[in-house]
Amino acid sequence: MNPVFAAAMAGSHSTTGIEAGTAFTQPRPADTDKRIPSRPGFSPVRLRTLMKLAVERTGLDLSELTVLTEAATGAYAVTAVLAAMSGAKHVYALAKAGRHGTVADAKQETLELAAPLGVADRIEILEKISPEVLCNVDIITNSGHLRPLTAPLIAHLRNDAVIALMFEAWEFRREDLDIEACARRKIPVVGVNERHPAVDVFSFLGPLAVKQLHDCGLAVLGNRIGLLCDNDFLVPLRTGLASSGASVTTFDSAAAVHLEGWEAFVVALQPAAAPRIGQAEAAHLAACAPAGAVVVQFWGDVDRAALARNGFSLWPTQPVGQGHMGILLSEIGPEPIVRLQTGGLRAAEWVWRGGAVTRDGFAQLVPWQE
């Protein structure tokens, strides 16, 4: 998920939002790397166990294929290693320095994760991408260090190459890749069905929203929550909040909210050209809620200044990248990241091998032909 979602990672995964915009491509707090690696749930041993289970569940088989993805830190270090352990004959992994890690950090974490699996020799860490690399790959992932996938880059891909979106097709963001260039080359852009039983990332959305509310100081249990959601995140978010004891009422827009004793509004609105909550929407929400209500930005862009002018506290406190999620998927552990990355590769592999795209299958297509 850019939105979507959008994410999640405890490492150096680039933030263009939307871990992941995708909804799941997401911004990261500066202290992420200092905090996550010490958590036992993110240990390399456990990551490898989760990876093996995910490959087994999905049936990911990249044998004889060449993959171009990113080399990252934290939970996103799994991506290149998943490709190699699934039989890819060669994996190119682009590393970039950033506030979450250096090129050396990304290389070390990726190869240390790969070495005990016996696949480190098939992963080549790159600091730049040459045309020679591009014309050799079968699958290229829409990962943070690779974005944006520009028209010149796409022009060097082989005719049978496939782009793995790494989240659901409806979460596609035009700023991530040049969809017109893909249309000209007839290169499929493949989303992953995050609700497929073998992937099931959507089941983590509810616990993720609960975590976000807990972090901002709301117990969830017994609280009145207005859930603003106009997309497929609705059911898992509502279920997760309600199962934790919240009284949840859902609205498909800010304008639909009515007067009530809301403790918080959780915003999960599909990103658009303008913020989904601007001055008019913020004023309406303020008229519907008592003083002290909080606006929690799960996904979807909001006018922070407008909300502040209308007396709201906003969580997270730091601005969220356009189209990105307001919380990292990895805040509740590496499982959703491992599942999402494995599913994204599996969906691309399915299309590359000529599998039919069905409603209940792994793969979805971004409709560049329209």
What are the chain's domains? 3-198+331-365 (3.40.50.720), 217-315 (3.40.50.720)
Residue 368 has a pLDDT of 78
Question: For the chain, what percent of residues have pLDDT higher than 70?
Answer: 89
Residue 197 has a pLDDT of 97
Does residue 129 surpass a pLDDT of 80? yes
Report residue 322's pLDDT band, with 50, 70 and 90 as the boundaries: confident
CA distance 354 to 210: 40
Report residue 213's pLDDT band, with 50, 70 and 90 as the boundaries: very high
What DSSP string describes 175-222?
TTB-HHHHHHHT--EEEE-TTSTTT--GGGHHHHHHHHHHHTT---TT
Report residue 98's pLDDT band, with 50, 70 and 90 as the boundaries: confident
CA distance 117 to 120: 8
For residue 336, is the peptide bond before it cis, meaning its omega torsion is within 30 degrees of 0?
Answer: no
Report residue 39's pLDDT band, with 50, 70 and 90 as the boundaries: confident
Angle at 8 between CA 345 and CA 57, to 5 degrees: 35
Mean pLDDT is lowest, of 10-14, 63-67, 258-262, for 10-14
Residue 28 has a pLDDT of 38
3-state helix, strand, coil in the chain (%, to 5): 40, 15, 45
What average pLDDT is seen over the chain? 90
pLDDT, tens digit (0-9, with 9 covering 90-100), for 334-353:
999 999 999 999 999 999 99
Residue 1 has a pLDDT of 59
Report residue 133's pLDDT band, with 50, 70 and 90 as the boundaries: very high
Mean pLDDT is lowest, of 14-18, 147-151, 183-187, 194-198, for 14-18
Question: For the chain, what percent of residues have pLDDT higher than 90?
Answer: 83
CA distance 77 to 186: 30
**E strand or H helix at 134, and its extent?**
helix 131-134
Residue 27 has a pLDDT of 40
Residue 369 has a pLDDT of 53
Closest among 145, 124, 86, 30 to 338, alpha carbons compared? 86
Does residue 7 surpass a pLDDT of 60? no
pLDDT, tens digit (0-9, with 9 covering 90-100), for 259-314:
999 999 999 999 998 999 999 999 999 999 999 999 999 999 999 999 999 999 99
pTM exceeds 0.85, yes or no: yes
Closest among 29, 24, 3 to 215, alpha carbons compared? 29
CA distance 86 to 92: 14
Report residue 195's pLDDT band, with 50, 70 and 90 as the boundaries: very high
Does residue 44 surpass a pLDDT of 80? yes
Does residue 211 surpass a pLDDT of 60? yes
CA distance 175 to 164: 15
Instruction: Reduce the DSSP state of residue 70 to 3 states and report it.
Output: strand
Residue 126 has a pLDDT of 97
Report residue 101's pLDDT band, with 50, 70 and 90 as the boundaries: confident
CA distance 201 to 94: 25
| Higher pLDDT pick, 81 / 16 | 81
